[in-house]
Amino acid sequence: MDARGWREADFICVTGDAYVDHPSFGIAVISRLLESLGYRVAVLAQPDCRDDRDFIRLGKPRFGFFVSSGNVDSMVSNYTVALKKRSKDVYSPGGKPGKRPDRALSVYCRKLKTLFPDTPVIAGGLEASLRRFAHYDYWSNCVKPSVLMECKADLLVYGMGESQTTEIAARLHAGENIRDIGNVRGTCILIVSTDTPFGGRECPSYENVRSNKAEYARACRIQHENQDAVSGLMLKQRHSNMTLIQNPPALPLTTAQMDEVYALPFMRACHPIYDAEGGVPAFEEVRFSITHNRGCFGDCSFCSLTFHQGKRISSRSKQSVLDEASRIMRMPGFKGYIHDVGGPTANLRHDACVRQAQKGACSDKRCLAPSPCPNLSVSHAEYLDILRSLRSMTGIKKVFIRSGVRYDYLLLDEDESFLRELAEHHVSGQLKVAPEHCSPTVLELMGKPPIEVYDRFVQRFEAVSQSAGKEQYLVAYFISSHPGSTLADAVRLALYNKNKHIKPQQVQDFYPTPGTISTCMYYSGFNPLTMKAVYCAVHPHEKALQRALLQYFLPQNRALAAEALVKAGRRDLIGRGKNCLVDAGASSRFRPENRRKKAVPPKKRSASKR
């Protein structure tokens, strides 16, 4: 600021992540966007909450603070699903944990409101987006109010924030009071309940959803039914004598707007102050990658994308993607490999159907599951054209797709050109796919297709890989103890994997994160879409049993897997038969009470006692 002759910044962007100037990091996009609009922008990354001086060293901004806890909810960043402190934070320098506080968004905003009470504070990012309504908080095992109640910010931005940021900044610059900026799409405000506007739709109150689980499920359904920019209504939720107002979602960015965002002058690097600590690990995952789309109409129940980015697809133009590839080729360390051309779902480039642009995404059905909608528009032609052009650029050796593909959508394409070229050119030995489970009940609750669809994809992928002369493998991801999954379902999945010769190396125990339909099921015991009761494994030991069954072949899991089989009434799977999952003798040896004590040799007598 001194070097630029600034006496003050117009806006200060606060983040719980280390500062990486790359379009995969939300605060980089917002700060570069504000800069492109002519504002003086400063970034305060990972401030030390124990010292007020860290928050005041950039001074008081002229217009306000934009605050985010980072790319990931701070509690997910800080804790494993087993509620243990993480040993690594990939969004911090050197991967060292402890740089961000628990519930960072609330901590930062409250601190700023204390130090700068008259300066607007705007909360945003994923933590704000997913916690904007009253929500179940897994880490405290209770229903918490809207984060806007706790963080004391003046305004909350939800979803991807470019449009909201542009309008808020312009209105503050024009001299408008932050308390009068209450009608911006994609934002939430708190007002005194007596001032609640007419219209829209009201969710069950915080007090109701905290005391009644069925009411919690009904609130969840109302919220998810109104997340489309075309059809979504204004939503209201009482919190004692205050009311949370959610304005309708922001319109998805057009292709031209997406191109403008990704053309901003990102350095595509970590800030140099982190060099001594080895940089920021999360940056290495995206250093040579390109994001070409946003949104996902896959609509998986356990995924936060629906509640954050929405079902509508925004995509960049071909030229914009090629221009970014040219910039990547000039980066230090580039060796000719584009690591990914993807996004939330790599092979989704356009809206699911023509109807979505006119009437919005359907609020009462999914596009792909349990069966594909007959109105679904299926084509990989545009995406394939981009990949072919990237491959032909001088200096690029390989272009990979690592962010995953929606295989059920891929199979609907009658033209197999994309599948063939995917196998021939864009897989680095392994392709990540996510069948998640094999139980029909669990898959339906997840919003995933039947397992037979995955089986067909495996056959086609192996066939085209063989035709291309490639020895390639699918890396399948599974979730254990998802709502609806019983021990019998976990046994079924273990048998499926055994029969298919799958030994998953990575298994994700279901993590109840705010804002998802699956988390609503986990807490309330109801499927909010149908209001039918759902079985949920909530006890840590049962969750451990289900997880162990998915990796029954690991020695350290055999005792738990055997216990799970006994409880599921499947003793027939314990033994040495070809269909058995656990060896009876081996499982008993791994029980702590059956471990032989190590023999201790008798002490030698000293020479004097001889």
390: CATH: 3.80.30.20
Same domain? 308 vs 450 = yes
Q: pLDDT tier at 594 (50, 70, 90 boundaries)? A: very low
Same domain? 309 vs 435 = yes
Whether 606 is covered by a domain: the verdict is no
pLDDT in tens, 478-514: 999 999 999 999 999 999 999 999 998 878 899 999 9
Same domain? 178 vs 306 = no
Q: 3-class DSSP state for residue 20?
A: strand
Residues 136-142: contacts with CB within 8 Å, 24+ apart? 136/216, 136/512, 136/514, 136/519, 136/520, 136/522, 136/523, 136/524, 137/75, 137/514, 138/75, 138/511, 138/512, 138/513, 138/519, 139/75, 139/79, 139/83, 139/102, 142/210
Position 369 pLDDT exceeds 70: yes
Please state, in angstroms and rounded to a whole number, the distance separating the CA atoms of residues 98 and 343: 29
Q: pLDDT tier at 586 (50, 70, 90 boundaries)? A: low
Residue corresponding to tokens 């800069």: 35
Whether 276 is covered by a domain: the verdict is no
Q: Is residue 399 within 8 Å of 268, Cβ to Cβ?
A: no
What average pLDDT score do residues 511-528 get?
96
Position 598 pLDDT exceeds 60: no
Whether 452 is covered by a domain: the verdict is yes
Give the bridge partners for 239, in sequence order: 242
Whether 48 is covered by a domain: the verdict is yes
Please state, in angstroms and rounded to a whole number, the distance separating the CA atoms of residues 238 and 191: 10
DSSP calls for 185-219: TTEEEEEEGGGPPSSSEEPPPHHHHHH-HHHHHHH
Print the domain residue range for 436: 300-350+364-551
**Domain end residue (candidates: 504, 522, 551):** 551
Q: State the burial class of residue 140 (Cβ atoms within 10 Å of its Cβ: 0-12, 13-18, 19+).
A: exposed
At 453, the amino acid letter reads V
Please state, in angstroms and rounded to a whole number, the distance separating the CA atoms of residues 91 and 20: 9
Which phi and psi (to 5°) does residue 105 adopt? Answer: -60, -45
Q: pLDDT tier at 584 (50, 70, 90 boundaries)? A: confident
Position 395 pLDDT exceeds 90: yes
203: nearest Cα among 228, 226, 229: 226
What average pLDDT score do residues 281-288 get?
94
Whether 508 is covered by a domain: the verdict is yes
State the Cα angle at 44 between 40 and 50, rounded to 5°: 145
pLDDT in tens, 525-536: 999 999 999 999
Position 184 pLDDT exceeds 70: yes
What average pLDDT score do residues 259-275 get?
96
Whether 285 is covered by a domain: the verdict is no
Residue 571, number of CB atoms within 10 A of its CB: 11
Whether 87 is covered by a domain: the verdict is yes
Taking the alpha carbons of 117, 121, 127, 132 in that order, is the dihedral positive or negative?
positive
In 410-440, which positions are buried (b, 16+ CB within 10 angstroms) versus exposed (e)? bbebeebebbbbbbebbbeeebbbbbbbbbe
* Strand boundaries in 25-141, DSSP class E: 41-45, 64-68, 121-123, 135-137
CATH of the domain at 90: 3.40.50.280
At 9, the amino acid letter reads A
At 33, the amino acid letter reads L
Position 161 pLDDT exceeds 60: yes
Q: What is the pLDDT of residue 588?
A: 54
Same domain? 36 vs 171 = yes
Q: Sort strands 135-137 and 142-144 into parallel, antiparallel or unpaired.
A: antiparallel
pLDDT in tens, 4-43: 999 999 999 999 999 999 999 999 999 999 999 999 999 9
Position 217 pLDDT exceeds 80: yes
Same domain? 179 vs 313 = no
pLDDT in tens, 313-361: 999 999 999 999 999 999 999 999 999 999 999 999 999 998 888 888 8
Quote the number of domains for the chain. Answer: 2
Tokens of residue 145, six digits: 């109010």
Please state, in angstroms and rounded to a whole number, the distance separating the CA atoms of residues 602 and 581: 41
Same domain? 308 vs 433 = yes
Q: pLDDT tier at 404 (50, 70, 90 boundaries)? A: confident
Average pLDDT over all residues of the chain: 93
Residue corresponding to tokens 């080895």: 278
Position 280 pLDDT exceeds 70: yes
Cis peptide preceding 370, ω within 30 of 0: yes
Same domain? 523 vs 387 = yes
CA-CA-CA-CA torsion for 128, 133, 138, 139, nearest 10 degrees?
50
Share of the chain above pLDDT 90, in %: 89
**Domain end residue (candidates: 132, 156, 187):** 187
- Of all helices (H) and strands (E), which one includes residue 375? none
At 586, the amino acid letter reads A
Q: What is the pLDDT of residue 595?
A: 44
Residue corresponding to tokens 């970034």: 43
Confidence (pTM): 0.92
pLDDT in tens, 132-145: 999 999 999 999 99
Same domain? 180 vs 304 = no
Q: Is residue 124 within 8 Å of 157, Cβ to Cβ?
A: yes
Q: What is the pLDDT of residue 502?
A: 92
Q: What is the pLDDT of residue 306?
A: 85
Q: State the burial class of residue 276 (Cβ atoms within 10 Å of its Cβ: 0-12, 13-18, 19+).
A: exposed
pLDDT in tens, 44-69: 999 999 989 999 999 999 999 999 99
Q: pLDDT tier at 596 (50, 70, 90 boundaries)? A: very low
Taking the alpha carbons of 511, 514, 518, 522 in that order, is the dihedral positive or negative?
positive
Same domain? 163 vs 309 = no
What average pLDDT score do residues 567-588 get?
85
pLDDT in tens, 83-120: 999 999 999 999 999 999 999 999 999 999 999 999 99
**Domain end residue (candidates: 139, 172, 187):** 187
Q: Enter the DSSP assignment of 349.
A: -
Which phi and psi (to 5°) does residue 591 adopt? Answer: -80, 130
Position 548 pLDDT exceeds 80: yes
Q: 3-class DSSP state for residue 411?
A: helix
Same domain? 388 vs 517 = yes
523: nearest Cα among 315, 260, 220, 287: 220
Whether 357 is covered by a domain: the verdict is no
pLDDT in tens, 296-323: 999 999 998 889 999 999 999 999 999 9
